[in-house]
Amino acid sequence: LISVPPVQLAEKYFQMYPEEANPVWGNPCDDMRHEKIWSRNKTCEQLPRFLVIGPQKTGTTALYTFLSMHPEVSSNFPSQDTFEEIQFFNGKNYYRGLDWYMSFFPTPTNSTSRYLFEKSATYFDGDLVPRRAHALLPHAKLVTILISPARRAYSWYQHMRAHGDEIALNYSFHQVITATDTAPKTLRELRNRCLNPGKYSQHLERWLSYYPPQQLLIVDGEQLRNNPIGVMNELQRFLKLTPPFDYSKHLRYDSKKGFYCQVVSSDHTKCLGRSKGRQYPPMEERSYKLLQRYYLSHNTALLKLFKRLGNHVVPQWLKEDLSAL
């Protein structure tokens, strides 16, 4: 038996097991040995109990804002890089480690909230996210929000235009979604960001290969927009948030904004910023038809998934997307 100094040993090890060079942070409280050697100042209570996983442009900010109104619920402190989102499980932030992630959450002694959560809308379609999230937060509940994938794609395109993206400004939505694989890279990238997150069933199946279905709630984004009080009540039941918060007293439709907003006083509401609920022309009919066809197999699989999960109320947008082909 021979050995070598630690650095060489590590190099040898990762040559033999290259797949292990990428860390996967586990939950220290799931293993007594880890918990015992962990600093006494640290506690798993400082980890989120639920995650709002996206996808982008489905109403995630409204859901995040409404949840944060609940006195027993707290989200993470804002991140300097990504505004309110931490985006830990999907990108390079993951390599910053567990302490970095936990530093975004209040310690239990400094907080009266019993339910910590975070919302990062890019988690939904990140390849590695379900595996990583499950390794650290196996008991967390997951909340996803879905709208018509065609409308989500259009909203994303409008979002990129509003942010001054050259490609979105120079190409019509129809040109973006019909771009072929020979198109310039930047156009293909925008096309992919418009289209790929909307393959809902594929992404959900990946989450469900790690988490049991009882831990997942699929919120209908159209319902969140039109009947947020009903949706928030269902969400509170799913998350077992007690005592229940009476959203009917705290949310009111604002006809100027055209959305539900937070009640501030009898004649004042606080709505989401101008970047949420933007004004733009409706999608061209030919683009919608094309996307209906494009998403047909994905939406059919989603319908099956709904049935398998026992969600008997099929969203109206899904029925419409699957109809009139």
Query: Is the Cβ of residue 27 or residue 58 nearer to ligand A3P in the bound state?
Result: 58
Q: Which two tokens stand for residue 298?
A: 């994905």
Q: Are 125 and 196 in contact (CB under 8 A)?
A: yes
Catalytic residue chosen out of the listed positions 12, 36, 42, 57: 57
Whole-number Å distance between alpha carbons of 253 and 260:
4
**Binding-site residues from annotation for 3'-phosphoadenylyl sulfate:** 155, 260, 276-280
Distances, alpha carbon 94 to alpha carbons 11, 86, 164, in Å:
22, 10, 29
User: Minimum CB separation from ligand A3P for residue 257, in Å?
Assistant: 7
- Residue 75's contacts (CB-CB under 8 Å, 6 or more residues apart) are 64, 67, 68, 84, 116, 117, 118, 119
Query: Is the Cβ of residue 108 or residue 277 nearer to ligand A3P in the bound state?
Result: 277
- Enter the DSSP assignment of 221: H
Q: Which two tokens stand for residue 58?
A: 């489905």
Burial class (CB in 10 A: 0-12, 13-18, 19+), 149: buried
Q: Is 264 helix (H, G, I), strand (E, B) or coil?
A: strand
Whole-number Å distance between alpha carbons of 6 and 79:
36
Whole-number Å distance between alpha carbons of 142 and 133:
10
Q: Are 74 and 116 in contact (CB under 8 A)?
A: yes
Query: Is the Cβ of residue 17 or residue 83 nearer to ligand A3P in the bound state?
Result: 83
Q: Which two tokens stand for residue 137?
A: 């937060």
SS3 content of the chain, % helix, strand, coil (to 5): 50, 10, 40
Using CB under 6 A, list all residues that contact ligand A3P: 56-62, 121, 155, 158, 224-225, 259-260, 272, 276-278
Q: Which two tokens stand for residue 253?
A: 């439709």
Full strand arrangement of the beta sheet holding 259-265: 251-254, 259-265, 268-270
The answer to whether 57 is a known catalytic residue is yes
Query: Is the Cβ of residue 124 or residue 171 nearer to ligand A3P in the bound state?
Result: 124
DSSP assignment of 181-193 = TTS-HHHHHHHHH
Indicate which residues carry an active-site annotation: 57
